[in-house]
Amino acid sequence: MLLHHQTFLKIILITTLALSGCSPEKARSLQASALQFRNESLTAITAIDTLRKRELEAPPRNESDIRQIFISNILNSSIDLNSRNIDLAIDPYRAPNTTEWDDFVQDLKLQYEQFADIFDNLDRKPAVSRDEMKKAGEYARKLTIQMALIAKALSDNPPILTQYRTRTIVKLRKVRRDYQTLQLNSDNNATQRKADLEDQTGELLNEWRSIQQDERILLETTVTQCMRAATMGKQVIEAADHYDDLDISQLNGLIPTLFTTASSFTGKDYKTLQIKATRIVNDLQTDPLWSSVALPLIDRINTAANRRTPSSRSTNP
């Protein structure tokens, strides 16, 4: 009689779990989507890191240029000759220390890894409660908002390859100075020299346009990847919010839907991408979590990137 009673309770428990939508099989189905969201987000974070480091890097220099700049810096300076200053004279254009930025990027990656771990832990349980799924959904909401915010911040403040631009500006200044000096002279060789300087100016125009093209590619590639991740996150949130109402087949169908939606963010048509991104950001801005996530994240990005703002990144000739 006691065995029959225990069997009856077990049946009731299984039935209750099935009706409440808390089976581990359903959690595993959603886990696959969560892992894909994590993967896309980690790819986006790598793209963000690459963009930032490209902003800081100097154009490559040949050995002759390095030697000449070193000689000039050493002989025309009154600084103390110590190891640090000698290294600086060799490479005065090296990127600044990025420890704070590197810590920020590692922390971002850890957050998305920890999100995926939540579903690994759920998968090991015999049953998943509504509260556990709700917490997972809230975490996904925060991480999705982060991706959308970063995409918006990059769109509002596109990357500037400052050292590349500065190098071209310096060249243009020299060409203009030489050209204007020739205009003041009546030397017979001035005509050919002026023609050479005009050709150099045209070449520097191409160099400037190439820099702008690199900046556009950096922007479009990074924003596209961020929006792919944000789109996937948004769908994971919706699945977690309606977890009880979805059956296993519907959750299994989420993965193809994620890929289909994400594949629409190609970066080939940036105007269309901006429209899609604006729509997603507008949807997320209605979320109560938006303001609590937005301000701390933007402040931390600015701090980690040394206040990455248009004014501090401008390079006026």
What does the pLDDT profile of the chain (317 residues) look like in tens digits? 444 444 433 333 333 333 344 566 777 777 778 888 899 999 999 999 999 989 988 888 888 888 888 888 888 888 888 888 888 878 777 766 778 888 889 999 999 998 888 777 666 655 566 677 777 778 888 898 888 888 888 888 899 999 999 999 999 999 999 999 888 876 667 788 889 999 999 999 999 999 999 999 999 999 999 988 988 888 888 877 777 777 777 777 766 776 676 666 665 677 777 777 777 777 777 777 777 777 777 777 777 666 554 433 444 44
In a domain, 249, yes or no: yes
- Cβ distance 45 to 109 under 8 Å? yes
Q: How many CB atoms lie within 10 A of CB 211?
A: 17
Looking at the structure, do residues 32 and 86 belong to the same domain, yes or no?
A: no
Of 312, 309, 228, the C-alpha closest to 267 is 228
> What is the model's pTM?
0.76
Token pair recorded at residue 97: 């220390």
Please report the pLDDT score of residue 127 as a whole number.
Answer: 57
Looking at the structure, do residues 103 and 154 belong to the same domain, yes or no?
A: yes
In a domain, 205, yes or no: no
Residue 126, judged by CB atoms within 10 A of its CB (0-12, 13-18, 19+), counts as exposed
What separation, in Å, do the N-terminal and C-terminal C-alpha atoms of the chain show?
Answer: 92
In a domain, 292, yes or no: yes
Using CA atoms, how far apart are residues 225 and 215, in angstroms rounded to an integer?
A: 16
Please report the pLDDT score of residue 15 as a whole number.
Answer: 34
In a domain, 48, yes or no: yes
Looking at the structure, do residues 131 and 151 belong to the same domain, yes or no?
A: yes
In a domain, 69, yes or no: yes
Please report the pLDDT score of residue 248 as a whole number.
Answer: 73
Of 73, 94, 115, the position where a domain reaches its end is 94
Count CA atoms closer than 13 A to 212's CA, side-chain side.
6
Looking at the structure, do residues 246 and 289 belong to the same domain, yes or no?
A: yes
Tally of domains within the chain: 2
Q: Is residue 276 helix, strand or coil?
A: helix
In a domain, 165, yes or no: no
Please report the pLDDT score of residue 165 as a whole number.
Answer: 95
Looking at the structure, do residues 244 and 287 belong to the same domain, yes or no?
A: yes
Using CA atoms, how far apart are residues 260 and 256, in angstroms rounded to an integer?
A: 6
CA angle 231, 232, 235 (to 5 degrees): 90
Token pair recorded at residue 96: 């600044």
Using CA atoms, how far apart are residues 193 and 179, in angstroms rounded to an integer?
A: 8
Looking at the structure, do residues 118 and 249 belong to the same domain, yes or no?
A: yes
Looking at the structure, do residues 74 and 117 belong to the same domain, yes or no?
A: no
Please report the pLDDT score of residue 314 as a whole number.
Answer: 40
Of 37, 72, 94, the position where a domain reaches its end is 94
Please report the pLDDT score of residue 14 as a whole number.
Answer: 35
Instruction: Tell me the residue range of the domain where 67 lies.
Output: 63-94
Of 60, 102, 50, the C-alpha closest to 219 is 50
Please report the pLDDT score of residue 123 as a whole number.
Answer: 60
- Using CA atoms, how far residue 134 sits from 15, 140, 236, 310, in Å, is 21, 10, 12, 39
Please report the pLDDT score of residue 79 as a whole number.
Answer: 81
Please report the pLDDT score of residue 166 as a whole number.
Answer: 92
Looking at the structure, do residues 44 and 132 belong to the same domain, yes or no?
A: yes
Of 120, 122, 58, 46, the C-alpha closest to 92 is 58
DSSP state of 243: G
Please report the pLDDT score of residue 108 as a whole number.
Answer: 92
CA 27 to chain centre: 29
- Using CA atoms, how far residue 35 sits from 45, 143, 254, 306, in Å, is 15, 13, 12, 32
In a domain, 7, yes or no: no
Token pair recorded at residue 58: 């100097």
